[in-house]
Amino acid sequence: MQTILSRAGQAPRGGCKACSSAINTLGKRPAPVRRKPTFAELFTACYSSMFATAALVDAIRKDDRRRELDRQLDEVRKEIADLQDGRQSHSSDLDSRYRWLALGQMDELWRSLKKIYASRPYMKEIHQPATISKCDLIEALKHEYYGCSSGRLRSAKRQLDYEMLESAIMREEGDTGRFYRESRNQVQLLRESMNTEALVRKLLERSRFYAKGESAPSLEKAQTLLKEGSPAFTFRSIDAVRAQENTILLNKRLRALVAASHLNMKEKIGRICYNLLISSHPPDVHTYNTLIVAFNKSGYHSFAEALVASFFHDRLLQPTPSTFIAILNHYQCTNNHGKFLRALACITGIDSRTGAKVRRRHVSDINRNPTLVPWALDSKRRTLNGEWIWDHVPLTLPLVEEILNGLLHFKLFDQATTFLLSCMQCGVRLSLDSVKYFFDECINALDWKAAAGMAYGLARSETALQRLLSYRGGDENSSYIVDRVRVLLDICGLGGPNQVPKSLLASVRVTGPAYAKLLSALAEEEGLPEGASRSSRLTDRSKSRVLQLEGLLKECEFVRKTTLSIESKLLYPDFSPAFRVSMAFYIGETAMQRSEQLSRESTQLI
């Protein structure tokens, strides 16, 4: 039929307009009417597109993971081959310093930190510790008789090497061998976006305390972005390589902004917040490390505090080996002894509020999944606290040294001695500067408990003694450590030329044979007859007695402060009202007696 109509349209025309129109119409095919898609077809198309995208993203992620596993396998094969051939891996000094300690060493130090936290003094004693009297005579005797250095030199030794820490952070940014926690679904990404907004808001609020007349256009832009709503963050797993490159560029820019001298503080914070908001991804743990170290290095501790608080209480970031070094250093910069000790509790898994953000499991998860029982029973790596099992923070040598420096910074000399002896016992090789700083601080403070603890630890453990004596004094002489140990022995009364009484040895929990063996080892290390190296120090025992008495007076002051703290704790509502009333009367009478005594002494002086 179609063929007939087509040929009819090709027939010759007679000239009639109506006939021509009719014939032309016969040869044309009518256009089909476009049909609207149904809802089922639209749903199927969207559903198929969504699953195709998810499959593509999953394939990319698996391919990246496969390449990473292949790289790790190649590294392991190379290390095994090096071990079989008797060769050592030629890693850089930075890589070796920031490498995790052996599990046995970490277990020893974790247990030591738990004991330190459990036996910590009251917060009042840490905030206002007992100190020796500020007397020119005592300072001169310490310098002449014990060889104490000035406070400025000791502070220089305590200063953290920020350049080395920043280099370690940059190395961690480019390390593709470790994977850190990140958002996996829309709910987690939304929570990260909200927490990033909260962090930016805190930084902007703290910038208001600076001069109001300063020009800060970037601050206004950041405030505008914050008012417009949540930032458009995406998943890092979509393009992991590009995300890592963006993080490295972002952190480099943030580090330069904090250190810029031509910008006022408000403009710095504005640009930092603006970069955080326009970034493709939420700030990760490397960005937190970068900003905490950069702010503390430049002296802007209030902004670093906002980042540390966000890490513990808002974000779920997994710490890197440098994270807790930066956090502990921040608490030292701000003299926050309470949070410093809490950070030690987080490292050992005994903090039940936030933990260290490494990993945790609820007890109910272990009960439902028997395969997790071996993981939960590994008490060396994790601790049961309440209803949660918390992973410990892996320890590195810089982190151990920062813990030791922090204990010394907060005048916890007894605890620092315990920690140092634990390091010597388990074979952790601290730097010579850290060991020298420990001896300088303990001797300058004339701390009797630290001296007695060192005498007890070295007399009790020959291993710790030999490892401590293996240090050399650099430009000084090989007997530097021996000399410092002898000074500590003299502080607690064990350095005299005469035979030490048994009662004195009993007070420091050292037996006679152990003490004799300790002195023999010290003399052998010096290579001199016993007593020859101490000839200058034994010329005037009165100087030694003055310093010893000053150290004992400091211990009496510590006992007095601790007694006052215990008395104040006895006024808490946990006790009966009658007991609290009697305790209040006793405290009042004691205070009146002290006031009268002070008044009499003042009258005598006048």
Mean pLDDT calculated for residue range 359-385: 91
Does residue 195 fall inside a structural domain?
no
More confident residue, 49 or 471: 471
Give the phi and the psi of residue 383 in degrees, each rounded to 5.
-135, 140
Does residue 452 fall inside a structural domain?
yes
- Report the sign of the C-alpha dihedral through residues 69, 72, 78, 82, in that order: negative
Does residue 354 fall inside a structural domain?
no
pLDDT at 209 > cutoff 80: yes
Residue 242 has a pLDDT of 92
* Most confident range, picked from 330-334, 507-511, 525-529, 581-585: 330-334
- Give Cβ neighbours of residue 149 (< 8 Å, ≥ 6 apart): 440, 444
Among 1-15, 29-43, 124-138, 405-419, which is the least confidently predicted range? Answer: 1-15
Q: Are residues 410 and 499 in the same domain?
A: yes
pLDDT band at 71 (very low <50, low <70, confident <90, very high): low
Q: Are residues 1 and 70 in the same domain?
A: no
Q: Which of 509, 532, 547 is the last residue of a domain?
A: 547
Residue 90 has a pLDDT of 39
Give the span between the Cα atoms of 148 and 139, in whole angstroms: 9
pLDDT at 352 > cutoff 50: yes
Q: Are residues 524 and 577 in the same domain?
A: no
Q: Are residues 575 and 504 in the same domain?
A: no
Does residue 112 fall inside a structural domain?
no
Q: Are residues 424 and 477 in the same domain?
A: yes
For the entire predicted model, the pTM comes to: 0.80
- Give Cβ neighbours of residue 498 (< 8 Å, ≥ 6 apart): none
Q: Are residues 412 and 538 in the same domain?
A: yes
Per-residue CA distances from 575 to 121, 123, 145, 568, 591 (Å):
22, 21, 50, 12, 22
Residue 89 has a pLDDT of 44
pLDDT band at 20 (very low <50, low <70, confident <90, very high): low
Q: Are residues 414 and 542 in the same domain?
A: yes
Does residue 302 fall inside a structural domain?
no
Q: Is 396 helix (H, G, I), strand (E, B) or coil?
A: strand
Q: Are residues 412 and 527 in the same domain?
A: yes
Does residue 215 fall inside a structural domain?
no
More confident residue, 152 or 565: 565
Give the phi and the psi of residue 389 in degrees, each rounded to 5.
-110, 120
Q: Are residues 434 and 487 in the same domain?
A: yes
Q: Are residues 27 and 43 in the same domain?
A: no
Contact yes or no for 507/548 (Cβ under 8 A): no
More confident residue, 30 or 42: 42
Q: Which of 89, 109, 128 is the last residue of a domain?
A: 89
Does residue 475 fall inside a structural domain?
yes
Full residue range of the structural domain in which residue 85 is found: 39-89
Q: Are residues 3 and 44 in the same domain?
A: no
Query: How many structural domains is the chain composed of?
Result: 4
Does residue 418 fall inside a structural domain?
yes
Among 67-81, 426-440, 586-600, which is the least confidently predicted range? Answer: 67-81
Residue 2 has a pLDDT of 54
Q: Which of 532, 547, 562 is the last residue of a domain?
A: 547
Mean pLDDT calculated for residue range 343-366: 93
Q: Are residues 430 and 447 in the same domain?
A: yes
To the nearest whole number, what is the mean pLDDT of the chain?
Answer: 84
Contact yes or no for 448/504 (Cβ under 8 A): no
Residue 497 has a pLDDT of 66
